[in-house]
Amino acid sequence: MTLSNKINIGIDAGSTTVKVVVTDEKHTILFKEYRRHLADVAGVISTVLGSLLHTLGDKSVHITITGSAGMGIAERCSLPFVQEVVASCELIQTLYPTVKTLVDIGGEDSKMIFFSPNHAPDMRMNGNCAGGTGSFIDQIATLLGIGVHELDELAQAATSVYPMASRCGVFSKTDVQNLLSRNVSKQDIALSIFHAVSLQVISSLSKGNAIEAPLFLSGGPFAFIPTLKKVFMQQLSINEAQIIDSENRQFIPAWGAAIESNQQTSTLALSALIKKIEQSKQQVYTYNPTALPPLFSDNEHYLRWKKEKESSCVIETIDIANATEGCYIGIDSGSTTTKIVALDEKKRVFYRFYERNSGSSLDTVQKGLNSLLQQANEANKNLMVLGSCVTGYGEDLVKNAFPIGLGMVETLAHFTASIHFNPHVSFILDIGGQDMKACFIENGAIKRLDINEACSSGCGSFIETFAHSLGHTAASFSDLCLQSKRPYDLGTRCTVFMNSKVKQALREGAPMADIAAGLGYAVIKNCLNKVLKINDFSTLGKHIMVQGGTFRNIAVLRSLEIETGSNVMITNMPELMGAFGAALFALKNREKQQTTNLQDCVQIRTYTCQTLLCKGCENNCLVTRYQFGKESKFYAGNKCEKVFSNRGNADIKGKNAFDYKYQLLFNRPQAKNPVLKLGIPRALGMYENYPFWHGLFHACGIEVVLSDTSTLKLYEKGAHTVMADNICFPAKLTNGHIVNLMEKKPDRIFLPFVVYENQSDTKTPNSYNCPIVTAYSEVIRSAINPMSSSGIPFDSPSVNFKDKKLLKQACDNYLLSILPHLTKKDLKNAFEYAFKQQVIFEQTITDYCQTIATKADTEKRFLVVLGSRPYHTDPLVQHKIADVIADFGVDVITEDIARMAAKKLPKVHMVMQWAYTNRILKAATWVANKGEHVQYMQLTSFGCGPDAFIIDEVNTLLQQVSKNPTILKIDDINNIGSTRLRIRSVIESLGLSSQAVQSTSTENSSVPFFEKKDRKRKILLPWFADFYSPFIPPIFHRLGYEA
């Protein structure tokens, strides 16, 4: 190392690593070090500086600290600190002034900075989700049992990319396990992970800004994973020449901090600096003054509680030697684990098996059954299987591979196990490794089912990950919480962000026991507050049962009791309740099965696997075909069963009105010898009014150029132009459609500004459009601007479908602006033709839904009204959920059944002024007035504001007649597995409940109006916005009310 007169040190203490850079006054790097700190930030910094002291001697240095974990060090040591994004900007502007975009992927955060002349840098960081970061990649590598370097090598040999969740590390594990169970190669999985990370970073951080070259890629993942860099470049369609590279890309914030140090005048001896860092480790901190309640008041309290739990809800177990020779086998083939239980004829468990699926659920099931056979042989038992049943994710595959008698949906398996102990059970909470299911029971049947769909921070993997990171097993971590006196409140943030919270607790001196107990609270608070959104625990009833291995953790179980004020039931085998319920179901349905020798049950049928590309629609699913022998086949990975079906010939698929509506919308004739080509995106309001617009333009000799049908590739093309990560997926998808249209090069692109939709029911007060649908054309103009980027004029005239006269005026003005030669007669004829086409479309789809409903009434078939907004007709947006429902033999119709005027508007606690939601509420009312065979499900997009209150109103309308709506949350991530589970659970539980439960009506109660006599009462107001909220209380005061 060449010594310099001026030595500058920059230290970047991040969430997972420490980077130290030493430079001279010309910013040349003299020394650099990159290390993982494993939560000992000060210790690692001290060690690295000690090495530097040994090399340089006790020199005087300038120092600046940066990074998410560096602030605490800087504060305790009274050292200069600079925010890491600012440090990165300092480096780029000083050493790489031509760079236009910096992209940095760190351990638990990612950043994107845009540079432009004469403007301050535009800095973006990931917000409330840490998907698409280094820790995310680490988690997946750990799951695959390999290092990050090997993950990169695997990706280089990949041939296919599979859709994968990147917003959440735990959900992505489920995707990985599902792919492994389908024998998808680790090479393809590795590449799919990098593809998901790249898309997450681009879509969540660019927010409408063009990612322009020259581009600088920094951070450890880009430095150590070449394939990630390659995939990222492919996503942006850039080449190596457009990248400004540096061998020090992982040190950028630390290097920038060193440059900041160069401006300092005061210095510090290196030995004194080390001493400060060492002393900071010895400081004692007063932590968390608002600790959570202790799990137990004292040890005696714990022992009494433990004795009570161990003596109730006990599954009787016996040695296999004492079991009857007739037995029942229950298999729970989950996405990550396999559970097997064997009962004798007296319902006693004599065999249990629990093991992770190491890439193949079939191999794990066979291993479990072979173990049972081996134990039976050792006990000289010739076991005869009187009945068998499989449940869980792998149900259909296992039934094809082994001679298993029955299959059942897992929620009913858990329900069956619960009522074995308490027929009056009112609520079942099952928390497994990757998912969470909550069943509300009423009159002996499942009336409501909730599954975590957006965040998995309340599942078993969540706690297991932290236990291992803190040097504990899951069991020892559970025991540790018994020592807690003041459980640390860690909140309910996601797995990756929670790492930072835990590290903060450790820095504050919190005992490990308090952290362990706090994580138990975090799991339950996430479940109750985020997933179930319960504000009245009485809705859980008085008989609560918990299941799943997560409840082996004492803190989780006890936290649920403390939070709800309830005494919770748990068995001595909570993780095996699905398999136990399946075995009980097999016993109950013995007459439907043939008796089989155990030796025959364990034999897996010989099979081969082949990956096929389905070309049945635009999704192009990669389907795995399992061939068992010459005739039996099973398909996995298909979103629907249109081409590759696992249904037998006897199964009749239900009618699907969504398919019909999609074809009715867009299958329209093209103009001959067109005078103009006008591009229209298949997006947002076009799913409501396209027949009108096509008719208008077609009548004027204009050729309508539609964007292509929606695909993930189309969405990804426009992902970098999306300006807000929290808007709904249908809006984000519009960007991709506009980019697709620009590639088609029409003469113009058309996306109108529609404030009012058609008021089909004049009894409703108004017919406002969704604000996003209304104004998204202005977003497109700002984010993409086809005119400036491609020279294609972008038209968004303001139109009003509520007022026919104003609508015609707007149409005339627009048509004359693009085709001045049109006569008044031309305009009149075009408008009348367009209006007629729209009326025909609306009447046709309404009649089609009515025909299906009438036939379902006559035949007493199950019928589902899938409430949605018009753009949910897009198969990609709804992930073909309508097809999934129809695959179960259930007819599916749209909310168009209630499109026309209603005899009586529903009684709701809101003003019915939104066109789309008015129709949804009317459809829910229509369902409420039908029999038990008609049920309601609703699609809702993440980020939809109006749905926050619409769902409450739909719930109220249907619960008055003892019906419960099934709300299906959807966005760009395809979580079709949990959706299919919910749909099947609802359908099968309805089949049971319709035999025993009769609907009862209750009156919809409303809060009384606030009158003059109530002026003495105080009104509590939410804070609406900073600009006008301060004015609201004075206004109320002026009117005589206290607010």
Best-predicted range by mean pLDDT among 108-122, 307-321, 897-911? 307-321
**Domains in the chain and their CATH numbers?**
8-96+254-282 (3.30.420.40), 110-245 (3.30.420.40), 320-422+580-604 (3.30.420.40), 427-452+479-568 (3.30.420.40), 646-658+845-996 (3.40.50.11900), 668-842 (no CATH), 1009-1043 (no CATH)
Q: CA-to-CA distance for 629 and 627, rounded, in angstroms?
A: 6
304 pLDDT more than 80: yes
Q: What single DSSP character describes residue 314?
A: P
Beta bridge partners of 439: 428, 449
Average pLDDT over residues 474-498: 77
Q: What percent of the chain has pLDDT over 90?
A: 38
327 pLDDT more than 70: yes
H/E stretch holding 34:
strand 29-36
Q: Three-state DSSP class for 451?
A: strand
CA dihedral of residues 185, 187, 193, 194 (deg, nearest 10) = -160
Best-predicted range by mean pLDDT among 443-452, 505-514, 718-727, 849-858? 849-858
182 pLDDT more than 80: no
Q: How far is CA 855 from CA 568, 840, 861, 881, in A?
A: 45, 22, 8, 22
**Among 80-89, 164-173, 694-703, 753-762, whose mean pLDDT is lowest?**
164-173
Band (998; pLDDT cuts 50, 70, 90): very low
497 pLDDT more than 70: no
779 pLDDT more than 50: yes
358-397: buried (b, 16+ CB within 10 Å) or exposed (e) per residue? ebbbbebbbbbbeebbebbeeeebebebbbbbbbbbbbbb
pLDDT in tens, 864-893: 999 999 999 999 998 889 988 998 889 999
Q: How far is CA 423 from CA 72, 426, 565, in A?
A: 54, 9, 22
CB 975 within 8 A of CB 171: yes
Amino acid (1-letter code) at residue 559: S
Give the side-chain half-sphere CA count within 13 A for 660.
19
Residue (of 205, 196, 207, 198) closest to 171 by Cα position: 196
140: Cβ contacts below 8 Å, ≥ 6 apart: 151, 169, 172, 173, 176, 193
Band (4; pLDDT cuts 50, 70, 90): low
Average pLDDT over residues 587-616: 81
**How would DSSP label each residue in 999-1035?**
--------PPP--GGGTTSBPP-----TTTGGGHHHH
Report the relative pairing of strands 326-333 and 384-391 from DSSP bridges.
parallel
Q: Is the dihedral of CA 902, 903, 906, 907 positive or negative?
A: positive
Band (649; pLDDT cuts 50, 70, 90): very low
R_g over Cα of the chain: 31
Q: CA-to-CA distance for 752 and 771, rounded, in angstroms?
A: 13
Q: CA-to-CA distance for 754 and 683, rounded, in angstroms?
A: 13
Q: CA-to-CA distance for 699 and 830, rounded, in angstroms?
A: 5
Q: In whole numbers, what is the pLDDT of the chain averaged over residues?
A: 84
Strand order in the sheet with 794-795: 702-706, 676-680, 748-750, 794-795
912 pLDDT more than 90: no
How big, in percent rounded to 5, are the helix, strand and coil portions of the chain? 45, 15, 35
Residue (of 940, 935, 910) closest to 923 by Cα position: 935
Q: Residue written as tokens 């020259």?
A: 214
Beta bridge partners of 216: 102
More confident residue, 291 or 854: 854
Amino acid (1-letter code) at residue 599: Q
Q: What is the pLDDT of residue 560?
A: 92
Best-predicted range by mean pLDDT among 218-222, 511-515, 841-845? 841-845
Q: What is the pLDDT of residue 306?
A: 92
> Is the bond preceding residue 214 a cis peptide, omega within 30 degrees?
yes
10 Å CB burial of residue 142 (0-12, 13-18, 19+) is middle
Q: CA-to-CA distance for 498 and 503, rounded, in angstroms?
A: 9
Average pLDDT over residues 582-589: 94
Q: What is the pLDDT of residue 128?
A: 53
Q: What is the pLDDT of residue 256?
A: 93
CB 405 within 8 A of CB 388: yes
**How would DSSP label each residue in 625-653?**
EEEETTTEEEEES-SSSSSS--S-TT--P
Average pLDDT over residues 664-669: 93
Q: What is the pLDDT of residue 975?
A: 60
Q: CA-to-CA distance for 963 and 906, rounded, in angstroms?
A: 16
976 pLDDT more than 70: no
Number of Cβ atoms within 10 Å of the Cβ of 543:
20
995 pLDDT more than 50: no
pLDDT in tens, 535-562: 788 889 899 999 988 898 899 999 999 9
